[in-house]
């Protein structure tokens, strides 16, 4: 499978502080990828490295076959929408489109103007007079009209109200399908990722804890509830992701590709949020079997 982004032992240091260390991952083409992790995991740093805005301190990163920052032609294949969906307050929407055309050799002016019209935005209106949702849509339009192969979005809907978030994500899904974009979307809002993403990466402490197609991940993770027992007694092909215990009951989240036949367990499926939280709550040096913790 072709990769749009590959990183090997990637690191970025600012002075004495490492914002990203020893990050290794492989993001396949043709997906809308959700990148999720706690604050400080290195998500924004990773995306800034991928878009060529900063250079790595250690390791390597490859985007669409080139190492950013690369040639203008290679950078033209990557679109980027930052967390604050930056626009110029004093410029009109039409000015933004003209600027996009000057800066991007593959600019699709017809696409940009059609999308602005479909959104009901007045080209003469200044960006500073737009709502947060409208500015986000303008930023997304600029990213799409660049005609990239890869579109990177760093928390683009974090400050938007629920309706504006839904409209933004709907526009993103339509654009990804229509223009066959590969997308990497960073967000703390797992419900939003669940709505639009078909591939998931969980990044914790700069390391990939989980990656794969969402449907497969959900099909191979289960919640087991039953009489209290030591997780070490499970079959070897059942990987324990998290465990909690009361005096009489054990609840486990496990990963397995095989059926669960033990009648002592009540087996239930996980939602994406429960799956993400299970991996985010793992200790940094997590092994196969988590320690017992009694919850009374």
Taking only the tens place, the pLDDT of each residue in 159-180 is 788 898 899 999 999 999 998 8
d(CA 195, CA 170): 9
Mean pLDDT of 32-36: 96
Look at residue 284 in the predicted model and tell me its pLDDT: 57
The length of the chain in residues reads 296
Look at residue 283 in the predicted model and tell me its pLDDT: 65
| Band of residue 288 on the pLDDT scale cut at 50, 70, 90 | very low
Superfamily of domain 3-215: P-loop containing nucleotide triphosphate hydrolases (3.40.50.300)
Model confidence at 196: pLDDT above 70: yes
Structure confidence by residue, pLDDT tens digits, 68-97: 866 777 778 899 998 777 789 999 999 999
- Dihedral of CA 154/156/161/164: which sign? negative
d(CA 210, CA 220): 12
b/e sequence 74-102, b meaning 16+ C-beta within 10 Å? bbbbbbbbbbebebeeeebbebbbeebee
Work out the burial of residue 248: count CB atoms within 10 Å of its CB; fewer than 13 is exposed, 13-18 middle, 19 or more buried. exposed
| Residue whose tokens read 């949020």 | 273
Look at residue 197 in the predicted model and tell me its pLDDT: 95
Structure confidence by residue, pLDDT tens digits, 178-188: 988 999 999 88
Residues 6+ apart with CB under 8 A from 40: none
Look at residue 296 in the predicted model and tell me its pLDDT: 35
Look at residue 157 in the predicted model and tell me its pLDDT: 83
Domain boundaries, the chain: 3-215, 220-280
On average, the pLDDT of the chain sits at 89
Mean pLDDT of 39-68: 91
Model confidence at 152: pLDDT above 70: yes
Model confidence at 295: pLDDT above 60: no
* Percent of the chain at pLDDT exceeding 70: 94
What's the pTM?
0.87
d(CA 206, CA 70): 24
- Lookup: tokens for 31: 């997906």
d(CA 259, CA 238): 10
Of 188, 192, 165, residue with least CA distance to 40: 188
Question: What are the phi and psi torsion angles at 95 (to 5°)?
Answer: -65, -40
Look at residue 293 in the predicted model and tell me its pLDDT: 40
In the sheet with 199-204, reading across from the earlier edge strand, the strands are: 78-81, 150-154, 182-186, 32-36, 199-204, 207-213
Could you check whether the bond before residue 166 is cis, i.e. omega within 30 degrees of 0? no
For 26, half-sphere exposure in the C-beta direction (CA atoms, 13 angstrom radius) is 4
Q: Are the C-beta atoms of residues 99 and 128 closer than 8 Å to each other?
A: no
Look at residue 269 in the predicted model and tell me its pLDDT: 92
């Amino acid at each position: 499978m072709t990769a749009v982004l590959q990183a090997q032992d990637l690191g970025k240091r600012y002075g004495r502080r490492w914002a990203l260390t020893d990050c290794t991952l492989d993001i396949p083409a043709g997906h809308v990828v959700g990148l999720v992790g706690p604050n400080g995991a290195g998500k924004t740093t990773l995306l800034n490295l991928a878009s060529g805005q900063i250079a790595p301190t250690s390791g390597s990163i490859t985007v669409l076959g080139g190492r950013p920052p690369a040639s203008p032609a290679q950078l033209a294949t990557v679109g980027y929408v930052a967390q604050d969906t930056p626009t110029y307050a004093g410029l009109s929407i039409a000015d933004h489109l003209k600027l996009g055309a000057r800066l991007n050799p593959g600019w699709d002016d017809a696409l940009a103007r059609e999308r602005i019209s479909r959104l009901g935005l007045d080209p003469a209106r200044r960006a500073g007079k737009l709502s947060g949702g409208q500015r986000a849509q303008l930023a997304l339009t600029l990213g799409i009209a660049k005609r990239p192969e890869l579109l990177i979005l760093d928390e683009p809907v974090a400050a938007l109200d629920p309706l504006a978030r839904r409209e933004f994500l709907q526009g993103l899904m339509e654009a990804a399908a229509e223009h066959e974009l590969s997308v990497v979307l960073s967000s703390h809002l797992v419900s939003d990722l669940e709505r639009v993403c078909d591939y998931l990466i969980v990044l914790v402490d700069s390391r990939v804890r989980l990656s794969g197609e969402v449907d497969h991940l959900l099909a191979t993770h289960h919640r087991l509830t039953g009489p209290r027992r030591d997780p070490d007694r499970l079959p070897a092909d059942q990987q324990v992701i998290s465990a909690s215990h009361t005096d009489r009951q054990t609840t486990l989240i496990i990963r397995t590709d095989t059926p669960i036949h033990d009648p002592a367990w009540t087996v239930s499926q996980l939602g994406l949020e429960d799956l993400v939280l299970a991996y985010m709550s793992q200790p940094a040096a997590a092994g196969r079997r988590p320690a017992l913790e009694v919850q009374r």
